[in-house]
Every structure is written in C-alpha cells, then in structure tokens.
Structure 1
Amino acid sequence: MLNGSVAIVTGASRGIGKAIALTLAKNDASLVINGTNRELLNELAVQIEKLGKKCFILVGDAAKPETAANVVRTVIDAFGRIDILINNAGINMRSSTLEMELTDWQNVLDVNLNGTLYFCKTVLPFMIEQKYGKIVNISSTAAKTAHRNAAPSYGASKAGVNYLTRHLALEMAPHNIYVNAVCPGPVETDMSRQWTDEYRQEVSAKIPLQKLGTPQNVADAVLFLASHMSDFITGETINVNGGTYMN
C-alpha cells in the first residue's frame, strides 16, 4: 500500500509505535524509528530488515527540538526524501489535578504536544518542496472527553494535538500535504497488562464492543491514513476505541 515510501515513526520502541512501524514496513515503507530505548529499537530494526526494508535508528527524546532535527537529517541523508511522519511518542500521568506536580504537567505537554510540533515543523519544509506528505498524529479519546483515570495534562496535551492536526491540515492543504490524527481508546499495551482483572473487566464492560483494542487495530488505521487510500481525507481525528466515544 505504501509503494516504497519513506517514513518516520516516533515512540517506536514498543506497543502502538512498534505495531505501526512493522505495519508500514510490511506495506513497503523504509523507516527511521525513534525512541528512548536503544535495545528495543535495535530489536525492532532487525524485525524490519527481515521484511526486506531499510531501517535506521535514532535514539532521542521527542520533547527536545534537536531530536526532531537529528531524525529528519538522518532520513534526508539516507533516502533524500520524507513521505510519511507518524507522531506516536507520548507519555501519560495518572493523578488528579490537586495531586499533580507542575513539573509532571510540563513534562507531558513537552512530549505529547511540543514533540509533535517539533517533528511537524521540521519535516514540513521537505514535504512542501516535494509537494506531498502524509502526517498522522497519535492522539487519544481523552482529547475529546474527560477520563477519571487520566491526569488533566494528558487530555489537555492530546486536545492540543487535535487542534494542531486541524490547523496544519488547513495550512498545508495547498501543498498536497495531508494531516490527520488517530484517537485510540483502551488498548492492550504494557501499561494495560498491569491492570488487575477487576479493573480490566470494568474497562471492558464500558466498551460497546466489550473488548480492549490492540496495537494492530491502531496501526491499521494509521496505515490507511498514510496510504493513497485516504487521499480525500485531511484534518480528521479518527476514533479507534470500540465505540467508547462516538462523534
């Protein structure tokens, strides 16, 4: 589906980011993957290369502007172009407003919102020059409705990602650059596997489909938005949540 495209995936070490990177590679994309865990990134790169695709690693914190600059420089040096950007890097805190430290608020915004901006701002000049690009931001249903088990910093950061997605879609449309977001609901990840059975049942019971999603469910939606199958879609925030939030 991707016809030899070149993609960046941030936060690719595990979970949703890893599933996205593998799915893009299986659909004929070469990749530069970013994260903070070199060992896990190396393991993922080996898997991608076994699929016959090139993969470069760049370790770095998405919250730092220099990380985006280094990743994009690596892509351009290696491939000469950048077709797809997947902003998946993100962190979450689980505390009430009164319990939350202000440093935690800032850290979440720095990674989830500022990191997304840094990568978008860095790739856009290259996409404008080549008159094409696909950007997919990984947001959350927490951006659209309040959750008791998420800190306010998380929902606020993802709401910012949704607005940034719409704004960039409008601004970049004349350049044939598509910008969309995916909003996952409860998904089976390392974090959710730490839940008690009681809490897991409680979460599942609130989902109309009566089950948690998988990283692959999210990756499939990302693949659609990164491919030419979505060439009349931009500025959207697509829910992948089993019906827990509908709009």
Structure 2
Amino acid sequence: MLLEGKVAIVTGASRGIGRAIALTLATHGATLVLNGTREDLLTELAGEVKSLGRSCAVCAGDVSDQQTAGELVRAAVGQFGRIDILVNNAGINRRASTLDMDPVEDWQRVLDINLNGTLYMCRASLPYMIDNKYGKIVNVTSTTAKTPHRNAAPSYGASKAGVNYLTQHLALEMAKHNIYVNAVCPGPIDTDMSQQWTADYRESVINRIPLGKLGTPQNVADAVLFLSSSMSDFITGESININGGTYMN
C-alpha cells in the first residue's frame, strides 16, 4: 500500500492510460477524484475503485476550462480534506499536417487541453500542496515532446514539449515546499486508438521498437505509481521515457 492515506486527482481517467492509472493508484491505497468528459465511463470506473475498498468522487469536465480545475480541487478538499497527488493525463491529438491543420481545432484546441489544462490544474492544486508542505505532480506527456513524429500534428508535439518544460519549471519553483513535479513520456502504447491501426501499420510500428512490442497502459500506470509514491523522493523535474527504447536520452 504505497499510497495509503493519500488523495489523488486523475484527469483524463475515462479510459486507456488514465483508467489504468486510476485503478493502480487505488489498488495501492489512494482515495481518488476522477475527471474526464465521459461521465458514464467515470461512474463505471468509480464503481471499480469502490470495489477495491477506496473512496472515490467523480467530477466530469473539460480541463481547458479553468472552472473545471477549481471544481476538481474543491471536490478533493471538500470531500477528502486534502490533495496529495495530481496526475495530469487529460489530452488530445490531431493528425493534420502543418499546412492542412485548422488553426483553431487542430492547433489551439490541442494546446488548450494538453498544455493550458495542465497549467490550470497545477495552479488550482498547488496552494493546498504548499499549505500541506507536500505534493506529487505527475504530468503525462509523450515521446513526441522530444522528437518529431510524422503521425502527430505539430500542435501535439508542441503542447507536450511545453508540458515537459512546465514540469521542470514547477519542479524548480516548488522544491522548497517539498512538492515533486515529474512527467512520464509514453511512446507506442496499445490503447483503443492503436486498435484501429491496420495490421501492416501495426507491424511497422512494432518493428521500430527496440524491445519489439507495444507498451501497455499498465506500463505507464506503474511509472506514475513510482513517481507518486515515496519511492521517488529524490527525483523531481524529470521526464521519464516509457517507449520500449524508441527514443533514448
């Protein structure tokens, strides 16, 4: 029970990586506040969390709206009295190229959710973490933040690179308050999106991975658990690659 007694907010928890993170944190003792845009899926997930014997609240909403951040924080503090862990997982991707993309839907919308949403959640949570003299923030970014990918829109890589910088900046600012800020950078992960790939494309992706396999949402969740727990108490400002060796630094 690495997180016994801790209260965690997980954004983008409806499915995929976020869902795996939520269940993993709950399995290790955390009380959860779940966020996403699909309230039906969040309610279903909350039932699974409660079946593990953990308390759980659902707060649906779009993280690109600053009000959502305030509602999530108020839910955590109001119902459970504190915020110990914040996992910023909510994010979207687009596939349009630079010249083909729509400047609102394919650029601004991606930055609003991926980068601005992360900032809003951090700003809303940090005052409570500062008061408690403790906090763990884990931002879910992407290998695309560090190296370009032809199958991702420029807005996606730019937004995630921004989150990586924000991670380092907050880590430096908040270290004096005993608040740790880190990121995980997944590469090719087997999610609902990858299930839509053709067999040929799937094989081509796997062939480019040194470990010869796709990652799983659980692989990412395990890294988030590590960074959320006392096991990582001398690590801050890092962005850890979880990509089977497709990008090494």
**TM-score between both structures, scaled by the size of structure 1:** 1.00
| 1:124 equivalent in alignment to 2:117 | no
SS at match of 2:35: strand
Quote the Cα distance in structure 2 between the aligned partners of 1:5 and 1:124.
Answer: 15
Quote the Cα distance in structure 1 between the aligned partners of 2:74 and 2:4.
Answer: 22
- Matched AA of 1:159: A
Between Structure 1 and Structure 2, how many residues are aligned? 247
Quote the Cα distance in structure 2 between the aligned partners of 1:224 and 1:107.
Answer: 31
Aligned residue for 1:216? Answer: 218
Aligned residue for 1:181? Answer: 183
SS at match of 2:87: strand
Aligned residue for 1:193? Answer: 195
TM-fit CA distance, 1:157: 0.1
Runs (4+) off by over 4 Å:
none
Quote the Cα distance in structure 2 between the aligned partners of 1:172 and 1:132.
Answer: 10
Say which of 165, 168, 175 aligns to 2:167. 165
Quote the Cα distance in structure 2 between the aligned partners of 1:237 and 1:195.
Answer: 27
User: Mapping of 1:63-78 within 5 angstroms?
Assistant: 63-78=64-79
| 1:243 equivalent in alignment to 2:214 | no
| 1:23 equivalent in alignment to 2:19 | no
TM-fit CA distance, 1:135: 0.1
Q: Per-residue CA shift, 1:179-209, capped at 9, x if unaligned?
A: 0000000001111100000000000000000
Structure 1: runs of 5 or more not aligned? none
Aligned residue for 1:86? Answer: 87
Aligned residue for 1:143? Answer: 145
TM-fit CA distance, 1:95: 1.2
**TM-score between both structures, scaled by the size of structure 2:** 0.99
Quote the Cα distance in structure 2 between the aligned partners of 1:140 and 1:132.
Answer: 26
Aligned residue for 1:11? Answer: 12
Quote the Cα distance in structure 1 between the aligned partners of 2:157 and 2:190.
Answer: 19
Q: Per-residue CA shift, 1:45-72, capped at 9, x if unaligned?
A: 0000000000100010011000000000
TM-fit CA distance, 1:126: 0.2
Structure 2: runs of 5 or more not aligned? none
SS at match of 1:59: coil
TM-fit CA distance, 1:3: 1.8
Identity %, equivalent residues: 70
